[in-house]
Structures are given as structure tokens and as C-alpha cells.
Structure 1
Amino acid sequence: MDRAPGPSVRLKLTLSYAGFLILAGILTFAVVWMVLLRYVPGGNGIRAPGGHFPGQEFLLRSFAPAVGIALGFLLVFGFLGGWILAGRMLVPLSRITDATRRAAGGSLSHRIRLPGRTDEFRELADAFDAMLARLEADVAEQQRFAANASHELRTPLAITQTLLDVARHDPGRDTAELIDRLRAVNTRAIDLTEALLLLSRAGRRSFTRERVDLSLIAEEATETLLPLAGERGLTIQTFGDLTPVLGSYALLLQMTTNLVHNAIVHNLPERGTVWVTASVLPGAVALTVANTGEELTADVVSTLVEPFQRGTQRVRTDDAGVGLGLAIVKSITRAHDGTLTLAPRSGGGLLATVQLPAAPPAGG
């Protein structure tokens, strides 16, 4: 936005300091003048012979020049002292402005790190440093996501191109097999695109909030995935209290489905178990999905919410998805002002906990 140039804040503060000092000096000298008029002989307004006020004339000759000199000194001192004091006070603001300009130019790694005790400027600088750190982390995450998404999208396209080239140079090849492979590759590309769109939608928070019961959502997600669990010989156990939240039913269902699906496909080869629990906490509700499985380290678990990261020690299966399941869970949870916590389960497997703010009482 173009703005007309104006006086600097330093000059405004200097003029304010000098003006305040001059005003205080004038008031002080006015009080002294009134006191002198009251107590100096002949200064009480009694006329001397000839119609003069000798006390007042004496005061004017003796006091007025000194007052003028003193006010002049106060004016100079106010300007110089105010200019120096204003400059010292605005040094932190200059550092904050410099950091803002660097950030606007694309440098998010710079930090103000304002020294000294806590005051308004240091609180502002600390808040700005925290904002820069968050922005830097978000930008880095977006860059990794864009690179990974490009790689994941390029893979099915490259496979499709290869299959088409083979069919073009080998007209006698079985077209049914080619069509089946193209269909599988195309289905994966569609699933990946839909997952990316869902992740973007959750990140923008472009959804309508309504009152929903998280325990009912957990039951629906579990029933939907029961056939998949049965194929793998797994048992799903559900436990639920009334857990009302405000949010998008579709997104929360997708979040729960992803958690349960992840617990199923990364489980024991047979006789594994998945536990789905909805519980009430003080001022919040929690959805916990735990599963049996291989031993996981904290380092592996910390990478699972990254897009396209499935954990270096986790077995990839045909039902493992496109690598965005837990990333979508994290995005949906954040969009609902909640937190996602992943931890290795004692005895093997994963313990995933989503905590969301509880909905206010109905009618409240």
C-alpha cells in the first residue's frame, strides 16, 4: 500500500518529550511566580505613590530573564535528550522491522533473539521469532510434500507410458493383461489424487462444523473395515462413551477410517487385534486406536505422519494405501483444533491417540 511520507516515530517521540518538558517548566515557573507575588514585599498588588507596583516591576526585571533562559535550556535539553532516548527505545523496533523485511524477502531462518529482560518489545520479538520458526517449518514441510507428491504422481504416469510404449511396439501382446495393469495403475493415481485433495481441504479448514458423536463415527468406520480385518484374521474390539465434538462428519469419519485401516494393514500376519476406544476427558474427547504388530522404535514412529512416509521397518502390502493415511489424520485433527499422538505400543504395534475439544452441552 502506497502511503504519503510523514514524520518518523523518533521525531514524534522527541517532540512529545520536549513539549512535555516545556509544559512542565512553564507550570513550575507559574507556581513560583505566584508564590513570589504573594510573599515578596510590594508584590501583592498595592500601588506605590505615583501609581506603580514596585514589587511586580522588580520581579519582572529579576525573574523574567531567568525564566526565559531556563525555558530555552529546557527546550534544547528536551530535544537532544528526547532524540537520544527515543533512539535507544526504538532500537528493538528497528531489529524487528529488519527481521520483518528479511522474512518478506524469503529469509525465514533469521531470528531477532532480542536480549534483556521481558518487556513489550521483547514479547513482540519472541512472538515474531516463534512465528518465523512455525513458518519455516511449514514451508519446509510443504516443499517436502510437493517433492514427494510429484514423485508419487510421476510413478504411475511413467508406468502407464511404459505400458503404452510396449503395446505400441508389440501389437501381438495380450491386451487383456495390459488393460488390467493400466486399470490398476490408473486406480492408484486416482486414489492418490483424491487423497491429496482431501489433505488440501482439511488444511484449508473449508468445512462446516456440526455436532457429531465420535463414538458413533468409530463404530461406522469399524463396521466398514470388518471385511478387511476378517480377511487377515484380525479381531477388532470397540469401546465407546458418548463423545460429542463439533466438526465435519465426513472428515472425522475419514480420519477414523484411516486410523483403523492403518491398524489393520500394519498388524500381525494372523491373530492380531485392533482396539478402538472413544473416551471422555476433562474438556476434551479422545479416540484411541491401538494394534498389535511388529516392534516399532520412537524414531520410526516420529516419521509416520510425514506424507508418503510409511516407516522404514514397516512391511508394505497391497492395502497399504498411498502413504497419506496418517498425514491426512494429522491434518484433519489439526483442522479441528486437536492433537495427534503416536507412540510405540508395549509388546509391538502402534498406539494412536486423537484428542479433540469437547462440544459444549446441547442447548448451552
Structure 2
Amino acid sequence: MTRAPGMSARLRLALSYAGFVVVAGALLMATVWVFLLRYVPEVIVSYPLGPPGQPGLFIPDRADLLAAFAPRAAVVLLLLLGFGLLGGWFLAGRMLAPLTRITHATRVAAGGSLAHRIRLAGRADEFRELADAFDSMLAQLEANAAEQQRFAANASHELRTPLAISRTLLDVARTDPDHDPRELVARLHAVNERAIHLTESLLLLSRGDRGAFARGPVDLSLLAEDAVETLLPLAEQRGVGLTVTASPAPTSGSADLLTQVVVNLVQNSVVHNLPAGGRAAVRTGTEGATTVLAVENTGPVLPADLVPTLVEPFRRGTERTRSDEHAGVGLGLAIVHSIVRAHDGTLDLAPLRAGGLRVEVRLPGGSAVRGTRSPGRRVGG
């Protein structure tokens, strides 16, 4: 919607300054009139003080003083008006100069250049605070845009891989009439399952980022016990000792999304473990007004600079291989981080000195949930 051009802020400020100066001058002159001129008599009788026939001493009355004062007062008011306009225009320009730079930076950012910064110098005032906040916003937007570009590129690559494999399998089957169709169907089914899993993971990640879910009472201890019981066969297959210490851990949120958090963390602790004799432990509980879910496992020693990047989409640890059917697509911890952040919680990752990783989820506490099992119950061995 196009608006009609109006008076600029600089002109309005200049007029305000000029009006203030003129009003101040008028009040000063009114003060002179009230406290000086009103004590002068309206008519003064002149008495001859000199020799006869000579004019007497002239003593001006109120009308004489007013006639001499009024024109000069009007000239002074006009000069004050001109001085106020010029001075106000100059001062308003100096005051609004930072706003002009901020406006220019806004237009540059709107044009797609998020790398531009204002970097306003000078003393810390309201304009400096606004400029610094705008620079921080641009930095955050630039980081988010870069992250979205990386995410889109990685997602495109991941989605293209199963499609390329499917096309290769079909090309081979078309050129080789003696190829066993059952093997082709089995391999296409596996590739299709992977593509479906990736698509569902992307949708789940988007859902967590938007925060589009209904909240209700949830007990993480129930979710942890169910996840451990479900993944216990996988842990036994890999020779990983999986245990859970489930104390009541009430919070508020989406049961489906928080279930995905627990399942992803427990599955990661089993899959990314030692080749044999590994351990994984899950613990739930409360610390004050905070609900805590902690998952700890053995594994290779992780570099400290690698751990913070594990929550990035499509980021895999050093020991993750694409040949493993449980290796995933590198969205597990990214999904966890997104869902935890949408629930106003925090996700902390800490490498263990002996190897492995400790993941701790902290969520705002909630009211107790009916059906909570006995405190400290252990599952697994």
C-alpha cells in the first residue's frame, strides 16, 4: 500500500525547535512587559525645569515605551524564528544521521545482502543500542540463512542418493534380462524405505522447528522405559548392555515428539558404541524445577571440537558408516535438538574421557502424570 509523502522527521524537528525558541523569546518579552512596563504610568505630566519659554524635560509614558518596544520585539521574534529553523535543521540532521545509516542498512539487507553491518561509532545512546541490536539481528539472519542453505544442499544430496541408486538398479535390470527380479525388488524396497525414512525425518525436523504441536503432561521416565524395552533386542544383537534408571520426570509437551527424542538418543547410544562389550545407560529424574533425561554410552574418544557439531543436520560421527542399516541419515541429534528447543529446554553434549558421549536433556518441570512407575526402576542388564 503506497502512502502519500508527508513531512520529514527532520523538518518536523526543525519546526519544533524553531517553535520552542520563538515561544521562549515571546515569554521573555512578556516577562519584561509584566514586570517593567506595567509600572510606567499611562500619562506623565511634564513640568518645566529650565528657564521660562524653554521645553520641559521629556519623560516617556507607557504608550511611548510600547511604541518603541513593539517593533523591535517583532524583529527579534522573526530573528529567533529564522535562527530556530536553521539551528533546528542542523541539529536535527546531526541527531538523525545514525537513523539514516540504519535505514540504509535495512534497504541493503532487504536486497539480500545480510553481510552488511552498521558498526555505529560514538557514545552509547539509544541510536547506538538500536544499531548494535540491528547488527546482531543481521548476524543471526546471516547464520540462519547459511544454515538453511547447507541444510537444503545436504537434503538434496541425501534425497538424490536413493533416487540415483534406484535408477541404477532399474538400468541394470533393463539391460540384463536374466537378472533375478526378486533381488531387484528387495534392493529397491530397501532404498525406498531409506528415502521414506529420510522424508519423515525432514518433516519431523520441520515440525519441531515450527513448534506446531499441542502440549500436555508427559513423564519422560515412561518414555525412557518403553524406548529401552523396544531397543533391547538391538542392544543384545550388538552386544551392548542397555540399562535405564527411571525416576519420575514430569514435563509438559508433545508426547509423540518427546518419544522421538528418547528413541533417537537411546538408539544412538546403542548404534554408536564399541564393537563389543559396550554399555549404554539411560537416567531420568528431576533437579529442582527441571526435568532431566541423561543418556550415556561407551564408544570411541570424540574430539572436543567435534561434539558441538553433532547437532547439525546430516552431521555424522567419525565411526558412522553408510553400510549400517541403523546408521541413519545424520538427522537424529538435529531432530532432538530441534524438539528440545521447541519445548523450551536445553541439550548438552559432553565427551567422556574414556570414550563415548553423555547427552543430557533439560526441560521445564511439570505436574505428575498418572500411571508413573515405581521410582528408580531399572530395565535391562
The 5 Å alignment of 1:134-145 reads 134-145=140-151
The correspondence for 1:349, drawn from 347, 356, 368, is: 356
Secondary structure at the residue paired with 2:338?
helix
AA aligned opposite 2:337: K
The answer to whether residue 49 in structure 2 is matched with residue 77 in structure 1 is no
The answer to whether residue 249 in structure 2 is matched with residue 216 in structure 1 is no
Instruction: Give the C-alpha shift of residue 128 in structure 1.
Output: 1.1
The 5 Å alignment of 1:283-294 reads 283-294=289-300
The answer to whether residue 247 in structure 2 is matched with residue 246 in structure 1 is no
The 5 Å alignment of 1:322-337 reads 322-337=329-344
TM-score normalised per structure 1 = 0.92
Match of 2:307 in 1: 301
Distance 1:280 1:118, change over 3 A: farther
Considering only CA atoms, is the larger Rg found in Structure 1 or Structure 2? 2
Q: Distance in 2 between matches of 1:9 and 1:86?
A: 8
AA aligned opposite 1:338: G
Secondary structure at the residue paired with 1:311?
coil
Kindly, what percent of the aligned residue pairs are identical? 61
Q: Distance in 2 between matches of 1:48 and 1:20?
A: 38
Match of 1:320 in 2: 327
CA offset digits 1:38-74 (Å, max 9, x no partner): 44x31xxx5557xxx9632132123212311221121
The answer to whether residue 27 in structure 2 is matched with residue 27 in structure 1 is yes
Match of 1:16 in 2: 16
The correspondence for 1:132, drawn from 138, 148, 162, is: 138
Q: Distance in 1 between matches of 2:101 and 2:158?
A: 43
Q: Distance in 2 between matches of 1:282 and 1:72?
A: 71
CA RMSD of aligned residues (A): 2.1
Instruction: Give the C-alpha shift of residue 94 in structure 1.
Output: 0.8
Q: Distance in 1 between matches of 2:287 and 2:8?
A: 53
Contact 1:303/1:311 (8 A) holds in 2? no
Secondary structure at the residue paired with 1:334?
helix
Q: Distance in 2 between matches of 1:281 and 1:10?
A: 56
Q: Distance in 2 between matches of 1:242 and 1:99?
A: 51
CA offset digits 1:247-273 (Å, max 9, x no partner): 111111101111111111001122211
The correspondence for 2:269, drawn from 257, 263, 267, is: 263
AA aligned opposite 2:88: G
Secondary structure at the residue paired with 1:277?
strand
Match of 1:7 in 2: 7
Q: Distance in 2 between matches of 1:174 and 1:342?
A: 47
Q: Distance in 2 between matches of 1:300 and 1:314?
A: 13
Unpaired runs of at least 5, structure 2: 46-58, 370-381
Unpaired runs of at least 5, structure 1: none
Q: Distance in 1 between matches of 2:103 and 2:86?
A: 25
Instruction: Give the C-alpha shift of residue 192 in structure 1.
Output: 0.6
Match of 2:375 in 1: none
Q: Across the two proteins, how many residue pairs are aligned to each other?
A: 356
CA offset digits 1:212-245 (Å, max 9, x no partner): 2223222222222222112112222323443332
The 5 Å alignment of 1:181-260 reads 181-260=187-266
AA aligned opposite 1:78: G
Contact 2:14/2:84 (8 A) holds in 1? yes
Contact 1:266/1:315 (8 A) holds in 2? no
Instruction: Give the C-alpha shift of residue 168 in structure 1.
Output: 1.0
Match of 1:112 in 2: 118
Match of 1:56 in 2: 62
Secondary structure at the residue paired with 2:245?
strand
Q: Distance in 2 between matches of 1:242 and 1:47?
A: 100
| Higher mean C-alpha deviation, range 172-181 or range 314-323 | 314-323
Secondary structure at the residue paired with 2:310?
coil
Distance 1:126 1:282, change over 3 A: farther
Compare relative contact order (CA 8 Å, sep 6+) and give the higher one, 1 or 2: 2
Distance 1:220 1:56, change over 3 A: farther
Contact 2:217/2:367 (8 A) holds in 1? no
Match of 2:51 in 1: none
Contact 2:281/2:296 (8 A) holds in 1? yes
Secondary structure at the residue paired with 2:117?
coil
Q: Distance in 2 between matches of 1:345 and 1:16?
A: 66
Distance 1:211 1:56, change over 3 A: farther
Contact 2:292/2:361 (8 A) holds in 1? yes
Instruction: Give the C-alpha shift of residue 97 in structure 1.
Output: 0.7
Q: Distance in 2 between matches of 1:111 and 1:360?
A: 46
Q: Distance in 2 between matches of 1:128 and 1:220?
A: 47
Instruction: Give the C-alpha shift of residue 361 in structure 1.
Output: 8.9
Secondary structure at the residue paired with 1:273?
strand
CA offset digits 1:76-122 (Å, max 9, x no partner): 11101111111111111111111111111000111111112222111
